[in-house]
Amino acid sequence: MTTLIVLFNLKNAEQQSAYEKWAREVDLPTAGSLPSVDKFEVLKASGLLTGGPSPYAYVEILRINDMAQLAKDVGTPAMQAVAAQFQSFADQPLFIITQSL
């Protein structure tokens, strides 16, 4: 199974409540219901285990069952709108594709 991990900070710290509300009400239900996505989580970082702040404020974890289907899913008008909204919040997000060992 492929897991997509997205690491990001917000473009503006004042967007925190607006982003978190949007993530709960729009992003999680929309992206989480895609045929290609088995599970979708948005996590808020609270710090490093060794102490100090995390270099990223948020982590998204998407369990993908079919990468070809994901490409189709994100091409829909609804997901294009969600992606544009995400880009308005996220400052240079990193999209990391991973595989289980």
Whole-number pLDDT of residue 33 = 97
CA dist 54 and 37 (Å) reads 27
Q: Report all structural domains of the chain as residue ranges with CATH numbers, in order of start.
A: 2-99 (3.30.70.100)
Is 84:27 a contact under the CB 8 Å cutoff?
Answer: no
Is 18 a residue whose pLDDT tops 90? yes
Residues 6+ away with beta carbon under 8 Å from 34: 70, 73, 74, 79
Mean pLDDT in residue range 10-31: 96
> Which of 3-7, 12-16, 39-43, 60-64 comes out lowest in average pLDDT?
12-16
Q: Is the pLDDT of residue 1 over 90?
A: no
Q: Is the pLDDT of residue 90 over 90?
A: yes
pLDDT tens, 30-87?
Answer: 999 999 999 999 999 999 999 999 999 999 999 999 999 999 999 999 999 999 999 9
